[in-house]
Every structure is written in structure tokens, then in C-alpha cells.
Amino acid sequence: MNQFSEQIAEEYLYDLESERRVLSSMLHNEDACIEAHDALASTDFYSPRNATIFALACSLYEREIHPTYVEIIKEGHGLGLLTHPREVEELKYIAEHYIDDENIKYWIKKVKDKARLRKFEVFLKENYQRLAEMPDQDVEQMLMAAEEQLTNLTALEIDDHVDSPAEMAALGYDEVERRFLRFKEIRELHKGVIPLDGLSTGFENLNHITLGYKPGDLIILGAQTGHGKTAFALHTARTVAVEHGKNMLYLNTEMSRQQIALRWGSILSGIEHDRIRTGEINESELSVILNGYSSLRESGFYSYPCPNLTPEKTISIARKFKAQKNIELMVVDYVGRMEKVDPRLSEWQILEQIVKTQKMLAQNLKIAVMCLVQLNPDGTLQGAKRMKNECDLMLKLAPIPREDREENEEIARYPDANYYLIIEKNRDGRSGVSIPIVFDMQKQSMRDAQRIDQR
Amino acid sequence: MQREEKQLYDETASQIADLTLREVISPEEMHFLLTILDLVMIHRDEPELLAFLKQWMQVYKASETDDIIKATLLATDLKDKEIIGTNLNILRGLLEDK
């Protein structure tokens, strides 16, 4: 029996070759690091030595040090984890046996599957023991308990969790209580200014309605060509990364590094973009611009210009920046410019696929993801209904029509407003609202329009 | 990295680690040698530092000056180009005075 169990263990419960393949890929390839860091935990490794090497590699990677063989030796020795020449030999064996088969996902899955099988083995052993120790127990209860355990095992992710009625009730009460206390605090301490649940949007009115961009949120912002998509993205970046110092990643599919850097000059200094671009500025303006860039230097803005962006690439880049910079927001400017993965799909199908990927990414990484999309000339959006289903917040940016300015009394109270920020969908609150804003195209800046009350 | 180069890299790194674990060299010496290995084989950087090391090895006699050069090298932050440059100037002077 024992011999049989050992044989089973060797054949089914662990696969040291797959573990070594994952580790050696991590030592040689950054993409492998990103994949393994995201998908595996040290506890997924059967060999304690392999688990330690994995933990070392992840710890180095999170500090932006590529976990090469040499770096692992340094780190392992420094932490007192490599104390015997035999351990170095084992590590060398892993480093030497790297095969660039571009199949990291396959090896990760094998490691993960074996880890799940080992949990299943523990489940079987525990239940067998329970049966042997307490033969007279309530069968129904025993089966129910076993079923719950098994359900957790079959769930793909370890942290998948089914809420019991009691847990849901407790969670609901906690949330209401938190909001009640916050509302009280607003009235008493903050004199009516609402603290946010997520990242500031850069617009008071939008903050008020949405309570900010929250982790797991997918935000879609649509505008026609030349109507402020990038300006909106960089306005968000200014608020989140420059003013609040939060880390964020900006992916741009159509602008060069220089173009993005120049836009910042205008946004941070308030000097017209055209003049900055042509260099038509005086010395005092140059010093204002320099000042602006110094605040960018201290900010959490990470930019990744990427003309051939694919949904897969966004996943990989976002995981890397989440691991290394703990980003709280990713902005994709813009999804229409992403490479077609499958040329047989039509435009709206591709957009739907991209948006689904981004929503999953936001939830898995617990970050807010903002996707910019291009509106048709008539202001509509292809595949809008499906996109609306996926996102948490759908915004549109459009100029205020002349009729509105002349005939709408409410808009007349905002004399400086020239654009609407329209909330088409808001999963957590009011929608169908048009917020009047000011968009200064020359200075690439945006702000809430000022309301002037009539006497 | 070519196959032979990779083999050389792995083998050298293992030898350095092995010497440390057998207490033939100190952890500081290991750290320095591994960083030099990465500089030569991965980053292919700091040619001046490497040229200096070669030059020094040709006249190395375990003298007091050699000990000072070694201590200075071990204390140098090899990630900081500015510090490397400053220290190299000092070390070249020491080598000339030998």
C-alpha cells in the first residue's frame, strides 16, 4: 500500500521538471517572470528549494531587478538561504537547463495543476480520516462539508469565495455603516466636501456622482477625433499621478515619446501647446515650463508608447507595472488603434473583445482601467451596447451644441463651458447626466465649468 | 548569449558562490566578483573599470597598495557610474605610484 502511494505521488502529485522549467524561464526571460509572478505562488511548488528560488525571483522582480542566476545567488546568500555548495549546484542545474520553447504558460499550468492535485489529495486524506474516526456522524452534514471543500478546490482561483447569507449581511451592514460615518464626517469636518472611494477624476462634479475611479472599474471615454481624448487622459493623469502622487501607467498607441512629453509641458505650465511645440516662448515662460516638468519628475506617471499594442500585451505590461510599481490606474489611449489579433473579426467584435479583456484585467489586478475610444462622426459608438454592458462607467466628451447655449437656461448659467462630459452609464450611481466643462484645446487643459447663479 | 558563453557564465557564477560557501572568499568579494561577471557578460559595460582590473592584475603582488586598491574596489557601488569614475581616477593614481 505504501509503495503504491509513493508511486502515485511520484507520477501524479508533483512534476519537478515543470517546476524547473518555470524557474529557469524566469531566470532568462522577463515575459516568463511576468506570467509566473502573476499566476503562481510559492505554495504551488512541491520542492521547498524550488519554492524558495521562486520567492527570491519574485522578490527581486518586484524591486525591478531581473532575477538572473547571479542575482539569485547574491540575494539567496545575503538572506542566508544559500548555505551549502549543494544548493548552489541545484540552482546551477536549473539555470543551465533553460530551453527557450516559448511555452511558459504550458509549464505554469502543469505546476498549478499539480498543486491543485496535492490539495485534492489532502482533501481525500482528511475526509477518509474523518470517516474512520467518527463512523456514526451525521452523513448529510459530513457530505455537505466535503462538498463545500471540493467546490473551493474546483474553483479556478484560490481566492474565489462564495458568500454565505451571514457574510453578505455583515458585508452590507459594514458598507452602509462606513458610508453613514463618512457622511457624518463630511458634514462635521469636511464642510460638505465628499471623500472619494477611489482615485479623483479631476472634475468635482464627476467625483460627486462617481466617488472616483475605483479598483476593478473599467471606464470608457468616447470622443470624436480631435475632441480631447488624449487631453482627457492626460488631465486624469495630472490629477492622479501629479497632484495625488499615485502610480499609474499610460499606454499610447499613436503618439511618440516626444509628443507626449511636449503635451505635458503645456498641461503643466498653462502655455499654449502650439507655442511650446514651435519653441515660440520667452525666458520666463521657459522657467514656468521647467517648474511644471519638475512636478512631473516627482509624480507617479509611467508612460509606454506602443504603436503595435495588442490586448495580450496590455495584460503583460499591466501585470509588470502592478508588480513593480503598484499602479492604481492604467489608461489605454486608444483602443481603436490596437492591432487586430484575428483579421476575420469585424471592428465591433474586436472592440468588444478588447473591452472584455480590460475589464478582467481591472478586476484581477484591482486597478482602475480607462479605455479611450473613438466616436463615429454622428457621435455614436460602434458596438456601444456591448461595451456599455462590460464597463462600469461610460463617458462621452462632446462640444456643447449652439442650440443648447442659446436655449438651455441651465447651460446659460455656465458661461465659460464649451464641452459636455456626458455620463452614459454609471454602475454605482446616477447616469444620463451632462456635466458642463471647459476644454482649452490650445493649453490642452480641462476643468469644471463655473456656475454663476442668477439674481 | 551563445551556448558556450552561457556555460562559462553559469560555471563562473557557481565557482564564485562555491568559494564563498567554502569560506575561501568573503561575501563582499563574492558580491563584487558576481557584479563584475554581470558587467562583462550581460551588460557589456564599464570597459574602463575592466581595463583597470586587467592592468592591476598584471602587477598584483599582495602589497599594502594592492590591499588599499582591493578595499576601495569592494566599497565601490558598481551601480553608480559617477562613483566608479571618481574611484577609478584615485585607483589609477595608486597604481602609478606602485
Contacts of B40 in chain A (CB under 8 A): none
Q: Are A360 and A280 in contact (CB under 8 A)?
A: no
Torsion of CA A358, A361, A363, A365, to 10 degrees: -140
- Looking at chain B, the whole-number percentage of residues with pLDDT higher than 90 is 54
Distance CA A149, CA A163 (A): 14
How far, rounded to the nearest angstrom, does the alpha carbon of residue B97 sit from its chain's CA centroid? 21
Per-residue confidence in pLDDT tens, chain A, 455 aa:
455 566 666 678 899 999 999 999 999 888 899 999 989 999 999 999 999 999 999 999 999 898 999 999 999 999 998 888 888 889 999 988 777 767 899 999 999 999 999 999 999 998 888 888 876 778 888 888 888 778 777 764 544 556 677 877 888 888 788 878 877 776 676 666 667 889 999 999 999 899 999 999 999 999 998 899 999 999 999 999 999 999 999 999 888 888 999 999 999 999 999 899 888 899 999 999 999 999 999 999 999 888 888 888 888 889 889 988 999 999 999 887 676 666 677 777 777 888 888 999 999 899 999 999 888 877 777 667 778 888 999 999 999 998 888 888 888 889 999 999 999 999 988 899 999 999 999 988 999 999 887 54
pLDDT attached to residue A193: 66
Q: Tell me which of B38, B43, B79 to substitute to probe the interface with A (most A C-beta atoms closer than 10 Å).
A: B38
Sequence-distant (≥ 6) Cβ neighbours of residue A282 within 8 angstroms: none
pLDDT attached to residue A313: 85
- pLDDT of residue B88 exceeding 50: yes
Minimal C-alpha gap between B78 and chain A (Å): 14
Flag if A85 and B21 touch (Cβ within 8 Å): yes
pLDDT attached to residue A167: 77
Q: Tell me which of B3, B10, B33 to substitute to probe the interface with A (most A C-beta atoms closer than 10 Å).
A: B10
Using CA atoms, how far residue A430 sits from A208, A211, A395, A451, in Å, is 10, 11, 12, 20
Distance CA B54, CA B37 (A): 14
- C-alpha cell of residue A82: 544559500
Which chain B residue has its CA at the smallest distance from A81's CA? B21
- C-alpha cell of residue A51: 519554492
Within 69-88 of A, beta carbons closer than 8 Å to B belong to 69-71, 73-74, 77-78, 82-85, 88
ipTM of this model? 0.82
pLDDT attached to residue A370: 96
- C-alpha cell of residue A36: 509566473
End-to-end CA distance of chain A: 92
Distance CA A164, CA A343 (A): 45
pLDDT attached to residue A2: 56
Interval B10-15 mean pLDDT: 92
pLDDT attached to residue A140: 82
Distance CA A47, CA B84 (A): 41
pLDDT attached to residue A312: 81
Task: Identify the three-state secondary structure at position B41.
Answer: helix
Q: Are A75 and A82 in contact (CB under 8 A)?
A: no
Max intra-chain CA distance, chain B: 42
Q: Tell me which of A70, A71, A82, A92 to substitute to probe the interface with B (most B C-beta atoms closer than 10 Å).
A: A70
Contacts of A92 in chain B (CB under 8 A): 10, 13-14
Distance CA A219, CA A396 (A): 11
pLDDT digits (tens, 9 = 90+) for A143-174: 888 887 787 777 645 445 566 778 778 888 88
pLDDT attached to residue A158: 46
Contact A16/B at CB under 8 A: no
Q: Look up the pTM and report it.
A: 0.71
Distance CA B51, CA B39 (A): 13
Minimal C-alpha gap between A70 and chain B (Å): 6
Interval B66-75 mean pLDDT: 92
